[in-house]
């Protein structure tokens, strides 16, 4: 066997080797940070991207070919924005679908539940139902994390951001990637 080694002369090196540029951060890329994007579209974009960085218990992962379901309650505009985002999108090789949720609807088969600003998250029946299931609960409420949400949207200097609760993720049996936690404005309930 022959080994071919190519060596560049030192004079061609311009300095230290730089790593290749990293792709945009998973949740601050295109849609969420563009000033021309409506906040509801940014919320919808975040919801879709959250699913890329969450592992569900094996008992709640949809079978091959079956979709991950994003449920939305109290945020018709976010539900509408999801429609265009989900076309052709997959997460972990599975399609994505949206479902409009109202109080009293069963949450079976829902993987991510977003409770919009029109929902009083603490004490709401949907919050209680989601907290008993392996559901990624996302909301936008001042007491969202305390009420059991895994992710809670917040605005920081007019930019949509999020905070995370590891304790809520643990209760739901979810594993959150450190890559998304590094982007959170605040993480509570550390391990």
Is 50 exceeded by the pLDDT of residue 72? yes
Q: What percent of the chain has pLDDT over 90?
A: 69
Tokens of 79: 């539900």
Give the contacts of 39 (CB within 8 A, at least 6 positions apart).
160
Mean pLDDT of 18-37: 46
Q: Of the candidates 72, 64, 22, which has an alpha carbon nearest to the alpha carbon of residue 47?
A: 72
Does the reported pTM lie above 0.75? yes
- Topology (CATH) of 28-173: Rossmann fold (3.40.50)
Compute, in degrees rounded to 10, the torsion defined by CA atoms 95, 110, 165, 172. Answer: -110
Place of tokens 């990637």: 177
- Residue 145's SS3 state is coil
130-181 confidence digits (pLDDT tens): 988 999 999 999 999 999 999 999 998 888 999 999 999 999 999 999 999 9
In whole angstroms, give the CA distance from residue 127 to residue 122.
Answer: 7
Please report how the helices 76-86 and 39-52 are oriented relative to each other, as an axis angle in degrees rounded to 10: 60
In whole angstroms, give the CA distance from residue 73 to residue 139.
Answer: 10
Whole-number pLDDT of residue 158: 82
């Amino acid at each position: 066997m022959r080994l071919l080694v190519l060596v560049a002369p030192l004079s061609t090196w311009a300095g230290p080797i730089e790593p290749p540029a990293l792709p945009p951060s998973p949740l601050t890329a295109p849609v969420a940070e563009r000033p021309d994007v409506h906040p509801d579209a940014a919320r919808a974009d975040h919801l879709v991207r959250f699913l890329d960085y969450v592992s569900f218990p094996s008992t709640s992962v949809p079978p091959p070919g079956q979709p991950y379901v994003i449920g939305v309650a109290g945020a018709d505009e976010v539900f509408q924005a999801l429609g265009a985002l989900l076309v052709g999108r997959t997460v972990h090789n599975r399609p994505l679908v949206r479902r409009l949720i109202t109080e009293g609807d069963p949450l079976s088969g829902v993987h991510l539940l977003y409770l919009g600003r029109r929902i009083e998250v603490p004490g709401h029946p949907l919050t209680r139902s989601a907290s008993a299931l392996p559901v990624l609960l996302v909301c936008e409420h001042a007491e969202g994390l305390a009420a059991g949400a895994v992710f809670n949207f917040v605005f920081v200097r007019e930019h949509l951001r999020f905070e995370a609760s590891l304790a809520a993720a643990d209760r739901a049996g979810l594993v959150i990637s450190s890559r998304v936690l590094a982007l959170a404005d605040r993480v509570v309930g550390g391990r």
